[in-house]
Amino acid sequence: MATDSQLATWEVFIQSKPGANYIHAGSVHASDKQMALQNARDTYTRRGEGTSIWAVPTKEIAASNPDENDMFFDPANDKMYRMPTFYVMPEGAKAI
Amino acid sequence: MTEQQALFNYCLRLGDDALVQSYRLSEWCSNAPILEEDLALTNFALDMIGRAQALLSYAGAIEGKGRTDDDLAYKRGERQFYNHLITELPNGDFAFTIARLLFTSSYEFGFYTALQQSADATLAAIAAKTIKEIKYHLSHASEWAIRLGNGTEESHSRLQRAVNSLWMYTGELFETDELDVLLHSANIGIDNAQLHMGWKHQVESVLNEATIEIPKDEYMQTGSRKGIHTEYLGHILSEMQYLQRAYPEATW
C-alpha cells in the first residue's frame, strides 16, 4: 500500500493505573485526535493494559538530536554529588 | 409455543446475530486498509464471539438436551439459524462493512440497553456486559462513517452506495412476531418496533454529519425470523462447520 494512504502518525502514551506515569507504548496512524484515540485503544489496550491514553502528533514532538548527545548528556556523568545516594532512606518510604 | 421454547429461540436469534457478524468481521483479518483497523475489526469479532458463546450456552441450558454452545454453532443447518440477513451479507468494501456496523450496532445499542431491564436475570447480565462493547462498536462505526462521507469523492460515493444497498435489510431488525410478543409480555424480551424511532434518529444524525443521503423506506427484505436466508449464509456455514462435519467430535 502506498505510504500516502496511511495517514499521519501519532505517539501513544498509556497510563496503566490512576496516578501512574504515562509510558510510551508505540505509534498509530490516524487522521485526527478522535481517531488517534480509537486506534490507540484498539492497538494497545486490548488486554486491559491501561486506564488512560494520551495521543500526540508525532510531528509535534521536540526530539533531541543524537549528534548533540555529548553536549546534552555527558556533563551529567561525573557528578555523583547530584545523586541522592548519600541520604539514609526513612524506613517505610516507598516509591522514592 | 411455550415460554421455554420461545426463550430458546430468542437466545438463538441473538446468539446467531453475534456469531455471524463475528465471522464476517474476522474475514477482515490481514485485509483491512490499515493495521489499526485490522486490529479493531477483529477485536470486535472477538467481542461478538464472547457474546455468542454466552447466548448459545444459555440457549443450550434452556433447551435442556445437553447441547453446548459449540453444538449449536457447528451442528445446526442453515434453516435453523436465525441471524438477521444484514449480518450475513459479504463484507464488500470497507465502506460497506462500516455502514453495516453502523446499522447493526445502532440497533444493538437500543436493543441491549433495553434488555438490561429484562426479567430474565441471565439475559439482563449478558446485556449489561455486552452494552459496553456495543457502545464502542457504534462509536467506531460512526466516526468512520463521518470521515468517509466527508473524505474524498471516492470515499463518499462508496459509503453512499453501501448505505443504499444495505437499507432494504434494515426493516427486518424491527419486525415483531408472536415470539417477540410472547416474551415482551413476560417482560423478558424487547418490543422491537419501539426501537425503530431511536435507531432512525441515531443513524440519521451520523449520516447527516457524513453528508450521506438517507434512502426512502421502500421494499424491505425479510425471512430470517423463520430461518430463511440469503445464499450467503450457506457459504459461511460450510466453511465454519467444515471441521465438525468432516471429523465429528474432533477435539484438540
* pLDDT tens digits for range A6-37: 789 999 999 999 999 999 999 999 999 999 99
* pLDDT tens digits for range B127-142: 999 999 999 999 999 9
pTM of the model: 0.88
Q: Does A29 contact B33 at a Cβ distance shorter than 8 Å?
A: no
Domain ranges of chain A: 3-64
Reported as a pLDDT band with limits 50, 70 and 90, residue B118 is very high
d(CA B134, CA A7): 26
Q: Does B147 contact A38 at a Cβ distance shorter than 8 Å?
A: no
Instruction: Tell me whether residue B251 is in a domain.
Output: no
* pLDDT tens digits for range B231-247: 999 999 999 999 999 99
Of A1, A30, A42, the CB nearest to B39: A42
Could you write out the DSSP letters of every residue in B79-140?
GG----HHHHS---SHHHHHHHHHHHHHHHHHHHHHHTT-SSHHHHHHHHHHHHHHHHHHHH
Q: Does A39 contact B143 at a Cβ distance shorter than 8 Å?
A: no
* pLDDT tens digits for range B56-102: 999 999 999 999 999 999 999 999 999 999 999 999 999 999 999 99
pLDDT at A4: 59
Contact residues on chain B for A36, CB-CB shorter than 8 A:
none
Instruction: Tell me whether residue B202 is in a domain.
Output: yes
The number of folded domains in chain B is 1
Long-range CB pairs of B1-5 (<8 Å, 24+ gap) are: B1/B178, B1/B179, B1/B182, B3/B182, B3/B183, B3/B186, B3/B188, B4/B62
pLDDT at A88: 77
Shortest Cα distance, chain A CAs vs residue B149, angstroms: 14
pLDDT at A1: 41
**Considering only the top CATH level, what class is A3-64?**
alpha beta
Residue B223, domain extent = 3-246
Q: Does A1 contact B139 at a Cβ distance shorter than 8 Å?
A: no
Kindly report the average pLDDT of chain B as a whole number: 96
d(CA B84, CA B225): 7
A11 DSSP β-pair partners: A27, A56
Q: Give the strands of the sheet with A52-57, arranged side by side.
A: A22-30, A8-15, A52-57
Shortest Cα distance, chain B CAs vs residue A84, angstroms: 43
CATH number, position B54: 1.20.1260.10
Shortest Cα distance, chain B CAs vs residue A5, angstroms: 9
Take residue A92 and report the three cell numbers written for it.
517505610
